[in-house]
């Protein structure tokens, strides 16, 4: 087998993140449930953007954020997703490339505009996402090439299940990863997404996933009706490594014969956008560098703490310096 060229290849929705500060009344006016990810149509996405003032605008999407974070620590990464060859699509690809990430996606000439996610941050630092998937919905099995699978880990996001070919993309990615000797990691993305695809996600986890990232709400959604402890055990039984994030409570890492509980790194929360994405970046960096799982989780907690101390899902500080300063 050839030596893998990169540490992690992400496959996910190519979305431009637009972060805006709003009051609680803004959510009420648009009938938006707080702390959830809402899939919206183009018309509502446009009206929401017209009604607020963006703070930041950058390439985004859950897995793309993770891969960019990985590159910021010193890992190597690539990303597969679909954009349109428009202003936002060019910005998306340019942002990733400028951060040292190989954009192996497709820029379509025709079809929907590049997707975007309006991330509404209320004064209590909670986030409500309104996402119009646009061109990212057109990601299909034809976009996955065997020669792009030269990575140690293939990272998928649960949100892909919402795409018309999402289930097929999952299966093809898993098959290509197995043929290339790659590990498969999956981020569950969002509790509502898990609700929509629970049975398929459970089966895919059991059959194909080596590493899963989930928060408390996603874990409980995956095993509906179970208490948290039971849901954790069930998730740990399905995969080799189960990582569960718990906000200020830190995180838990389950592997055969071991459970690590890692304290969070205390910081002032400004915007929780990207916390889970950067946690996965730190953990996968440690994992692909063959560090211990508890060390990988500690690096992950530092990365998550850095991103929640600023606006947006891309860390502007020196992640490597922060890790060295916090962990030694």
> What pLDDT sits at residue 4?
58
Q: Answer whether 0.85 is exceeded by the pTM.
A: yes
Half-sphere exposure of 106 (CA within 13 A, CB side): 19
Between residues 35 and 288, the one the model is more confident about: 288
> What does the angle CA 91 – CA 112 – CA 273 come to, to the nearest 5 degrees?
50
> What pLDDT sits at residue 222?
96
Secondary structure (3-state) at 47: helix
pLDDT tops 70 at residue 81: yes
166-222 confidence digits (pLDDT tens): 999 999 999 999 998 999 999 998 899 999 999 999 999 999 999 999 999 999 999
pLDDT tops 80 at residue 136: yes
Q: How far apart are CA 266 and CA 124, in angstroms?
A: 16
Secondary structure (3-state) at 83: strand
pLDDT over 70 percentage in the chain: 96
> What pLDDT sits at residue 19?
86
Q: Region 137-156: what's the mean pLDDT?
A: 87
> What pLDDT sits at residue 1?
41
What is the DSSP code (8-state) at residue 187?
Answer: E
> In which order are the strands placed within the sheet that holds 151-157?
102-103, 77-80, 6-11, 151-157, 183-187, 211-215, 241-245, 251-255, 258-262
Count the neighbouring beta carbons within 10 Å of the beta carbon of residue 58: 17
Q: Kindly indicate the confidence band of residue 3, based on its pLDDT and cuts at 50, 70 and 90.
A: low
* 203: its two tokens: 């089966």
Q: Which residues contact 258 (CB under 8 A, 6 or more apart)?
A: 293
C-alpha closest to that of 152 among 175, 173, 177, 174: 177
Could you tell me the domains of the chain?
6-12+62-113+139-327 (3.40.1190.20)
Alpha helical stretches, state H, the chain: 24-29, 42-50, 62-73, 87-98, 166-180, 191-196, 198-208, 216-222, 228-238, 275-288, 293-308, 319-327
> What pLDDT sits at residue 134?
94
Q: Region 312-317: what's the mean pLDDT?
A: 72
The answer to whether residues 78 and 151 touch, using CB atoms and an 8 Å cutoff, is yes
């Amino acid at each position: 087998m050839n030596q893998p060229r990169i540490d992690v290849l992400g496959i996910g929705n190519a979305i431009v993140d637009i972060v805006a500060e709003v009051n609680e009344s803004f959510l009420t006016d648009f009938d938006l449930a707080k702390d959830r990810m809402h899939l919206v149509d183009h018309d509502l996405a446009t009206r929401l953007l017209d009604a607020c003032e963006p703070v930041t605008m950058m390439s985004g999407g859950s897995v793309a954020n993770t891969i960019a974070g990985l590159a910021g620590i010193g890992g190597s990464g690539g990303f597969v997703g679909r954009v349109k060859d428009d202003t936002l699509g060019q910005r998306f690809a340019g942002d990733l490339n400028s951060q040292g990430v190989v954009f192996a996606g497709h820029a379509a000439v025709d079809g929907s505009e590049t997707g975007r996610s309006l991330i509404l941050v209320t004064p209590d630092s909670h986030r409500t996402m309104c996402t119009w998937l646009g061109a990212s919905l057109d990601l299909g099995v034809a976009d996955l090439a065997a020669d792009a699978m030269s990575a140690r880990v293939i990272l998928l996001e649960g949100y892909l299940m919402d795409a018309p070919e999402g289930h097929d993309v999952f299966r093809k990615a898993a098959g290509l990863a197995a043929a290339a000797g790659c590990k498969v990691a999956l981020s569950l993305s969002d509790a509502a997404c898990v609700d929509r695809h629970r049975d398929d996600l459970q089966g895919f986890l059991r059959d194909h996933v080596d590493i899963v990232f989930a928060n408390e709400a996603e874990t409980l959604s995956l095993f509906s009706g179970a208490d948290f402890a039971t849901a954790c055990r069930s998730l740990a039984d399905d995969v080799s490594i189960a990582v569960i994030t718990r906000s200020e409570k830190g995180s838990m890492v389950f592997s055969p014969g071991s459970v690590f509980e890692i304290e969070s790194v205390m910081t002032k929360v400004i915007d929780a956008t990207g916390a889970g994405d950067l946690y996965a970046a730190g953990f996968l960096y440690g994992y692909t560098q063959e560090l211990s799982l508890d060390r990988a989780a500690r690096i992950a907690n530092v990365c998550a703490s850095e991103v929640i101390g600023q606006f947006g899902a891309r860390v502007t500080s020196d992640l490597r310096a922060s890790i060295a300063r916090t962990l030694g």
